[in-house]
Structure 1
């Protein structure tokens, strides 16, 4: 049997925190190993034990979810971060993507579905609930496709050589390197090299910012 995914849950609402932790612990393959009531406490918990996935509430005192996610990315890059929110935070969603956060979910999601998404995030996929996905569609896809402000970006993408364009098209689908490599018949090392070339050609340093721009530009 594979080892359970170790989860840290940070939420300032004790009822939500304890209830969600209890529900997740009943799901196969998930173990909530730590809980925290704010971002500062979450970072302390991460320093004490190994965690695979951190579920962070967007709105927390002391250190909010976005600031915490930034510190997790800096201090514990192997931890997959998934943001949780009660409401549709468009600005928080964009900031989360820019930080390479692995997912953005609303708290009304059923625990069984949340468990599956945690497993996907741990496997390297980006996960979004229905409402955050709709935010992306409404805010970016429809308005950006014909926006002349993205003409330069679109021109740069169209100038990519075929081998990089194929990688770009899969990269902005939030697929992990292993999946991209399998789909293109390449080694993971080659995919990493191609992604580095794409970042250089387009002027980006991380997947989140590139994906946001690509969505805005209509890709």
Structure 2
């Protein structure tokens, strides 16, 4: 049976601001996904990451998502192995057979939306499988969270095991984080989901999944709200 866990605001990692609303948080996420898919549809082989970011910012602005709490991130090819903090990545061009991911953090309905996904172009079957596997792994781990009363640390331990069972390697430098109403300074103090000693509450935590191919230099990414 699926468990519903309201925020335990007695714990600092679960604090929310006065404007926080679980309904608004979910709606902000749903709207943000439109932005990711429109950017992905506009990305073409031959385009450089910098060009894709500039185009993505225009698309988001046209969608009313010009305000962001974290910058738009687009990664191509080998850069899909890099984490968000690696800002000085080479400005790669997308090849005919390639993989990429998009990560956006718009402020919508007064809340910190945060969504991201990987995509493949061309006909490399392993790249398409990698992009799909990140989504599948996210759903498996989210289902475990919904069904079992696990800590954030234990949840990522399970994610490692699930990734290995699927034939991929999980990057534990990427292990989730808090979101809430905006601005929300205490979000930073909450730490990573993968370090959380308590149980993640619904509507507050972003589950991040970043995997890599076991032998080839590329990976994939997927993130969404544990709602």
TM-score range (shorter-chain normalised) is 0.3 to 0.5
- Specify which structure has the higher proportion of helix: 1
- Look at both structures and tell me which one has the larger radius of gyration over its CA atoms: 1
- Specify which structure has the higher proportion of strand: 2
What TM-score does the superposition give when structure 1 sets the normalisation length?
0.33
What TM-score does the superposition give when structure 2 sets the normalisation length?
0.32
